Amino acid sequence: MGKELPSRSDDYSLWYNELVKKADLAEHSDVRGCMVIKPYGYSIWEKMQQALDKMFKETGHVNAYFPLFVPKSMFEAEEKNAEGFAKECAIVTHYRLKSDDKRPGKLMVDPDAKLEEELVVRPTSEAIIWSTYKRWIQSYRDLPLLINQWANVVRWEMRTRLFLRTAEFLWQEGHTAHSTAEEAVKETLQMLNIYAEFAESFMAMPVVKGIKSEGERFPGAIDTYCIEAMMQDGKALQAGTSHFLGQNFAKAFDVKFASKEGKLEHVWGTSWGVSTRLMGALIMAHSDDEGLVLPPKLAPIHVVIIPIFRNEGELAKVSTAVESITKALRNLGLTVKFDDRDTQKPGFKFAEWEMKGVPVRLAIGPRDLENGTVEVARRDTREKQLIRIEEVVTFIPRLLDQIQDNIYQRALTFRNEMITSVDNYSDFKKVLDEKAGFVMAHWDGTVETEGAIKDETKATIRCIPLDAKVESGKCIYSGQPSKRRVLFARAY
């Protein structure tokens, strides 16, 4: 097994897969299309969860948990939603196994244990949640209902990729109910903004906020808003979605409330979610040929300290010096790892922690003890410098802020370079093939044109950016008039 990563520019997919494995984030499991998230990878997801959960709570949401199984009749109640997910559902049909007479010691599905009604393993929870909301909502006094759940869902994808698309994945899904359309729309946009803020200030990943075209809309939604990010290979990644559901689910599940005026009305809904796919986004937004690059705000370990020593005596001396540094940094709320393993050499440890993306590394050896110094290495630029040991407490927090800012700026510069405006179809295809990235172009607004462009180029409309300026133009495909440019890209 090679110790080094393939180069990003040679084969991006290979680089990505190797990085995920070598940084100890995740691996394919023996179960078809499923993934094992390893402790280190999971600790990054936990940091994401914590940050998001805090933002949800600050905006009045609470967490709850709903069942994994959705009876088929319940699932199919909202027809568009059901139809949209029908092709990728796992279904429970039996509830018992029995020993197989033909294969001693083996089991078979007991044909007598067939369920009267099949259970769909949730691909998303609107159905089960709205059928519950029916019981919870009677009056305008019960609204708004602002609930989030952290859960797993199953979508039986034909082809899977670590973090980006797995048969089972972890996510959060918010499901809210409101008394007016205006309030629900406001909620939808609020959550979109929270996702964008999370992506930019925690993940250090710039995103485009926009609204999906009809063809890309969530099944059962009136409007789907999204944040779209740009990966280093020029492909787009949908990083989060927020849906205005109108009264579709309220009508399908008969969820009504008595208004102040005493009228019985259907409630207005939203749903919004981000998944472990964000892990893939984080990896592909910042990492390099040495491995993962983590933004300090999501790094499970901020600082790794590597002692340099030749014998136990030297290690003991270094450890004493490290102890006070560790204590001081921990008092600042930082997570510090002292890697005093005597089974690996320093060079090995340097490489290993770089692969894992730890933002800052300190190295301390006998030479430093003599001089009162410590070597500081930052992961984003891989620069090293010596600082006075007493400076550490002021230097490191500042450096972490700089790293957070630097990787955001780097990603932003790259992303902006990867947005190209084109005015005709041949330029459009040329940019997609030669440069990739986002392509801003006029579109006539029809599903037919969108579909034709997708078939011919594999590029889809990622979104109609919310800040798209109004300008008259002609659709690059049909020549029909258009009022604004939309964002095209090949996407994950």
Partner RNA sequence: CGGGGCGUAGCGUAGCCCGGUAUCGCGCCUGGUUUGGGACCAGGAGGUCGUCAGUUCGAAUCUGGCCGCCCCGACCA
Rule CB under 7 A: say whether 277 interacts with RNA. yes
* Helix intervals (H) in 123-245: 126-136, 181-197
User: How many residues sit in the footprint of RNA (CB under 7 A)?
Assistant: 57
Rule CB under 7 A: say whether 345 interacts with RNA. yes
Which of 304/476 has CB closer to RNA? 304
Which of 143/239 has CB closer to RNA? 239
Least Å from the CB of residue 440 to RNA: 20
Which of 167/476 has CB closer to RNA? 167
- As a whole number of angstroms, the distance between CA 49 and CA 60 comes to 16
Is residue 180 within 8 A of residue 140, CB to CB? The reply is no
- As a whole number of angstroms, the distance between CA 356 and CA 286 comes to 12
**Using the rule CB under 7 A, which residue among 173, 368, 380, 450 binds RNA?**
368
Tokens standing for residue 474:
């002609």
Name residues contacting RNA, limited to 3-42 (CB under 7 A).
3-5, 13, 28, 32-33
Rule CB under 7 A: say whether 365 interacts with RNA. yes
Adjacent-strand bridge partners of 225: 211, 242
| Site stretch for RNA (CB under 7 A), options 48-56, 357-365, 415-423, 481-489 | 357-365
Least Å from the CB of residue 384 to RNA: 6
Which of 29/138 has CB closer to RNA? 29
Is residue 489 within 8 A of residue 483, CB to CB? The reply is no
**Using the rule CB under 7 A, which residue among 54, 94, 114, 367 binds RNA?**
367
- As a whole number of angstroms, the distance between CA 159 and CA 249 comes to 30
Helix (H) or strand (E) holding 79: helix 79-85
Task: Please list, residue by residue across 284-305, b when 16 or more beta carbons sit within 10 angstroms of its beta carbon and e when fewer do.
Answer: bbbbbebbbbbbbbbbbbbbbb
**Using the rule CB under 7 A, which residue among 255, 325, 364, 461 binds RNA?**
364
Query: What stretches of 57-167 adopt beta strand conformation (E)?
Result: 62-63, 69-71, 90-94, 97-99, 107-109, 114-121, 145-154
Helix (H) or strand (E) holding 314: helix 312-331
Residues with Cβ within 8 Å of 116's Cβ and at least 6 positions away in sequence, in order, are none
| Site stretch for RNA (CB under 7 A), options 255-263, 269-277, 389-397, 463-471 | 269-277
Rule CB under 7 A: say whether 241 interacts with RNA. yes
Give the 3-state secondary structure of residue 69: strand
Tokens standing for residue 344:
């690996």
Least Å from the CB of residue 258 to RNA: 35
Here's the x/- map for RNA, 202-231, by CB under 7 A: it reads as --------------x-x-------------
Tokens 């009876």 correspond to what residue? 71
Residue 78: C-alpha distances to residues 8, 94, 226 (Å): 44, 25, 22
Rule CB under 7 A: say whether 354 interacts with RNA. yes
Rule CB under 7 A: say whether 83 interacts with RNA. no
Q: Which of 176, 206, 201 is nearest to 190 (CA)?
A: 176
Rule CB under 7 A: say whether 352 interacts with RNA. yes
Provide the 10 A C-beta neighbour count for residue 146: 18
| Site stretch for RNA (CB under 7 A), options 36-44, 107-115, 242-250, 341-349 | 341-349
Rule CB under 7 A: say whether 317 interacts with RNA. no
Name residues contacting RNA, limited to 282-311 (CB under 7 A).
290, 308-311
Which of 185/237 has CB closer to RNA? 237
Rule CB under 7 A: say whether 260 interacts with RNA. no
Rule CB under 7 A: say whether 238 interacts with RNA. yes
Name residues contacting RNA, limited to 106-165 (CB under 7 A).
155, 157-161, 164-165
**Using the rule CB under 7 A, which residue among 81, 132, 166, 213 binds RNA?**
166
Rule CB under 7 A: say whether 176 interacts with RNA. no
Rule CB under 7 A: say whether 422 interacts with RNA. no
- As a whole number of angstroms, the distance between CA 323 and CA 238 comes to 44
- As a whole number of angstroms, the distance between CA 87 and CA 91 comes to 11
Rule CB under 7 A: say whether 433 interacts with RNA. no
Least Å from the CB of residue 28 to RNA: 6
User: Can you give the length of the chain in residues?
Assistant: 492
Here's the x/- map for RNA, 443-472, by CB under 7 A: it reads as ---------------x--------------
Which of 172/404 has CB closer to RNA? 172
Least Å from the CB of residue 403 to RNA: 15
23-29 CB contacts, 8 Å cutoff, 24+ apart = 23/291, 23/292, 23/355, 23/356, 23/357, 24/356, 25/162, 25/163, 25/279, 25/283, 25/292, 26/162, 26/163, 26/279, 27/162, 28/160, 28/162
Using CB under 7 A, list all residues that contact RNA.
1, 3-5, 13, 28, 32-33, 84, 87-88, 155, 157-161, 164-167, 169, 171, 216, 218, 238-239, 241, 275-277, 290, 308-311, 342, 345-348, 350-352, 354-355, 363-368, 375, 377, 382, 384, 458
